[in-house]
Chains A and B, each alone.
Chain A
């Protein structure tokens, strides 16, 4: 049984869509900054294989870094990722088979990637590890490691919170079984000198994460600090603290536009940024320079991209860049 579309519906909808189509007041997100840069002519093929989740804001910035470097150097950069170490190892093998001029790998689970990384090194491909796997980087034959030490970053947060007089902290973990996240919480605990309790939430269900943090704050009124390990959870924690009427201070690892805004507004104490853009960008640049000129920065010492603290003083400037997906 087929009915014709009611005429009145079209009569209402079409003008509504047309009249209201382009009012610039709505397009608050239309981007206004584009990272500049010329284009070099190195024409190398660089393969990047990370463990980052596809919808993760942190890794989308790393990816943006590799792509910007590719544009600036005139290299062609491919980016693949898979959180499962077995699959990531397969992606590395696939990349090596295409004989790239350089390989960038993040090693969240170094043991599982050992064989694949060694195969790349044996094939004569220069490898740089980024973000995770600093301890194993050298022994697997990588040129250097670019990243931020999670424990050091955690300790920086712990120290800063202690200075603010915080004693009882919940550390909100958004991915079960991620070693780096546990290291961050442990780092916080090292320097805080008070209580640190881990709270497990799900990054794919942020409204639930908010309710869980709220529940924790309601249950234990003595909690005076909340540390989140990812930018997306941080904004939900902010809402939870407001909802619980708690005066807990909030600090987070990693950065996005919402976090920068909250720091500017004073709703968040500070954010620890490990500058993911640099991890991606520098890796491609360094591989290019190694290939062209055999340069290795610092003679192969690990290059630290963080931790830098984003506080009220510098948040406003960072906020502008954040919207473009590079901070």
Chain B
């Protein structure tokens, strides 16, 4: 072994606090969130009032809960286009098993979880086994589940929705866990917001502090190299798909429990919103880079923008344009900050 060179190694050089902040994937998104919050707060008093905050946090939480596993999957190098429609599958499964087949509500929850894990496993297994892009595999799953959701629902219920879960024994406990509100500053905040914070923390911990997290970054960064050093890339990928499906189970059941009813078309189109939130939050489309907290901040930006447009009393016909422009701006700002950070490191 040669002696260590006398001059300082640039890899272990001391880095300033600002630079260390800047290279964090979620940093750009955080700034964006602050800017958007200030912007809409100036436009509307109600937006920054407790009632307003409760409202846009609610919208953000639905996106945010799913954005966390979707971001982890993206860091692992894959997409799940069926993530949105799986929300519907989970809720419909629980609803049909309970209100039509008479199964106990907790048993149906367990059964629908097993079903969702199986769907996630199929996604992951097909992707790892065939080596085809996850984009194509999950696109197939997306279309297939869309048909199953509608077909089964129509077959069983004669309509396109499953309702009346709120009449089932055991519903009230579930409602307390998944769909109740917590009073803060006299205003009702959805409990889903708490779940969102909890799952974001869990996801972030898993990514940054566990061996599984290391495997995710490695698998997404360079699958071949990872395989060569002994990372179980296939198992990691399958686990990530199953994680996404498990979260779809959680969100879908939150929805049917909260409203007592769920529609066959629920979640279609949402899969892209989850990916958008993850990308705003600093995930790279190529994998290997990103953060769970970032994805949640991305969801927060989306929630604030969506509701902010209404609070600002803008014409809602243009709504999608505003959202699109906001998202592009956020991503560009993100890109700029990251490039600046990477240059300043040299």
Contact residues of A with B, CB < 8 Å?
1, 13, 16-17, 20-31, 53-57, 60-61, 64, 176, 198-200, 202-208, 211-212, 214-216, 218-220, 232, 235-236, 239, 243-244, 256-258, 323-325
Contact = CB atoms under 8 A, between A and B. Distances in A.
Contacts of B270: 204-205
Contacts of B319: 200
Contact of B266 (A21, A206, A325): A206
Interface residues of B, number: 59
A189 B99 CA distance: 40
B10 interface: no
Contact of B110 (A16, A23, A61, A256): A16
Contact of A26 (B105, B150, B259, B265): B105
Interface string B204-216: 0000000000000
A65 to B, nearest CB: 12
What is the interface of chain B mostly: helix, strand, loop, or mixed? helix
Interface stretch (B27-35, B66-74, B152-160, B219-227): B152-160
29 contacts: A1-B235, A17-B103, A17-B111, A20-B107, A21-B107, A22-B103, A26-B102, A26-B169, A27-B98, A27-B100, A29-B99, A29-B162, A30-B100, A54-B150, A57-B263, A64-B158, A176-B317, A198-B317, A202-B269, A204-B268, A206-B263, A207-B62, A212-B310, A215-B46, A215-B55, A216-B310, A218-B55, A232-B263, A323-B159
A208 B267 contact: no
A216 B319 CA distance: 14
Interface of B: 44, 46, 49, 51-52, 55-56, 58-59, 62, 98-107, 110-111, 149-150, 154, 157-164, 167-169, 188, 232, 235, 255, 258-259, 261, 263-270, 306-307, 310-311, 313, 316-317, 319
B182 to A, nearest CB: 14
A23 B270 CA distance: 35
B268 to A, nearest CB: 5
Given A60-B154, A325-B159, A208 B59 contact: yes
A203 B265 contact: yes
A127 B1 CA distance: 90
Given A28-B164, A57-B160, A214 B55 contact: yes
Contacts of A17: 103, 107, 110-111
Nearest to A200: B316
Contact of B317 (A60, A200, A216, A258): A200
A135 B156 CA distance: 37
Given A200-B317, A219-B310, A26 B168 contact: yes
Contacts of B56: 211, 215
Contacts of A53: 265
Nearest to B316: A200
Contacts of B269: 202, 204-205
Contacts of A208: 59, 62, 306
A215 B102 contact: no
Contact of B101 (A27, A203, A236): A27
Nearest to A221: B46
Given A202-B269, A218-B55, A29 B106 contact: no
A199 B316 contact: yes
Given A21-B107, A215-B307, 11 more contacts: A16-B104, A22-B102, A26-B103, A28-B168, A55-B150, A55-B263, A198-B316, A200-B317, A206-B259, A207-B58, A207-B258
A6 to B, nearest CB: 14
A176 B232 CA distance: 47
Contacts of A206: 259, 263, 266
A29 B163 contact: yes
A29 B258 CA distance: 18
A199 B307 CA distance: 12
B44 A219 contact: yes
A188 to B, nearest CB: 17
B158 A31 contact: yes
Contact of B264 (A23, A55, A61, A214): A55
A207 B313 CA distance: 20
Residue of A13, A26, A207, A325 contacting most chain B CB atoms (<10 Å):
A26
Given A17-B111, A207-B255, A211-B58, A258 B102 contact: no
Nearest to A216: B310
